[in-house]
Amino acid sequence: MTDRDQLAGFATAVAGKVAPIAAAGDEGRVNRRLIRALADEGLLPGLFPRRAGGTREAGVSAVDLCVVRESLGRASTLAENAIAIQALGAYPIVLAGSDEQAGRFARPVARGEAVAAFALTEPGVGTDAGALELRAETDGKGFRLTGTKVFISNAPDADVYTIFARTTPGAGTKGITAFIVNGDAKGLSGSAQHLLSPHPIGRLELDGVFVSEDRIMGEVDGGFRLAMRTLDLFRPSVGASVVGMAQAALDAAVAHASTRQAFGRPIKEFQAVSHQLAEMATRLEAARALVYAAAEAYDRGDQRVARRSAMAKLFATEIAQQVIDAAIQVHGAVALERGHLLEHLYREVRAPRIYEGTSEIQREIIARDLFRARD
């Protein structure tokens, strides 16, 4: 058994243990009991370095992040969503924060004692993150943040936010800074947003929120690079999470086709069904291979990691939706009933084609790199 197999088995076992806690949470709101359970079982701290409250010598590898998210995506999308958002919210602090910042803000997140959020998207500014408008203005003692963030996972219930704001007007991607903001900061308010799948996600309003200079991560005007570093690490694992979901759907479709009778025989004996399952399995395996190739490239430090990550996220999210849709077709109307596994997965799989960069922007990243290589 490889280390990857052991990690996958551990993540799957943890998902089984926390399943009752996951199911008992309020839809669309942060499940703090679930986050704490994921930490107590050792899975959440296993994604963080020791200086940030975790159990690793250094930060998590992209491959290990993929293994955990694929395993959880297959076993429990609620657990997968909780651990992924928690890690994404804290990882800018891990990557660029000082030891003091990592110990003060990331450590409680890794231990499940605090909830983290990654706040980049704004109204009208999603794909074009370099055009964000939330203002960070100096006041002699630090900065005052004013503006709006939307579609922020774990908002408005998070305890600590990584917020990206504009410190230099008109400078595009070179004028953005990353700040650590407490969830109870004066001038910070928010509200929940209700989406197709009930994830904890919301809107933030910042009205002159004060942030001292010791809450800046990295350099002033260097925040965009940090945001992209974080997303490059997490993007292949988005693909891994939906591969896990699609594998659960394929497993369900194979089991159903083996037992469901039509015209006196199992429907697996009809070529229209069996060949569809074969096609689903083949495409899913190709998506899995692309995801792990991208993760391995990230861990090696390959120069073209952005292109590989874009390919992995694009292909995996598109294929996962196709596989889950086909699994529903194999099941028929029963899979459309509220509460059925496939009905749940169908709603869950739609958002990843948009989160952390739409399919369209992934194609743009790939195309630009193709022409850059030619030049």
Catalytic residues: 356
Query: To 10 degrees, what angle do helices 62-75 and 3-23 make?
Result: 40
Tell me how far the alpha carbon of residue 347 is from its chain's centroid.
16
Q: How far apart are CA 302 and CA 268, in angstroms?
A: 44
What are the contacts of 74-78 at 24+ separation with CB within 8 A? Answer: 74/12, 74/244, 74/245, 74/247, 74/248, 75/11, 75/12, 75/15, 75/16, 75/244, 75/248, 76/15, 76/18, 76/19, 76/22, 77/245, 77/344, 77/345, 77/348, 78/22, 78/23, 78/25, 78/31, 78/34
Q: How far apart are CA 291 and CA 66, in angstroms?
A: 8
Q: How far apart are CA 70 and CA 246, in angstroms?
A: 10
What are the contacts of 210-213 at 24+ separation with CB within 8 A? Answer: 210/139, 210/141, 210/142, 210/143, 210/144, 210/145, 210/185, 210/186, 211/136, 211/142, 211/143, 211/144, 211/145, 211/179, 211/180, 211/181, 211/185, 212/141, 212/142, 213/141, 213/142, 213/143
Contact 158, 168 (CB under 8 A): no
> Which residue, 340, 333, 329, is CA-closest to 277?
329
Q: How far apart are CA 326 and CA 130, in angstroms?
A: 37
**Bond from prior residue into 123 cis (ω within 30 degrees of 0):** no
The helix (run of H) or strand (run of E) holding residue 137 is strand 135-138
Q: How far apart are CA 231 and CA 32, in angstroms?
A: 24
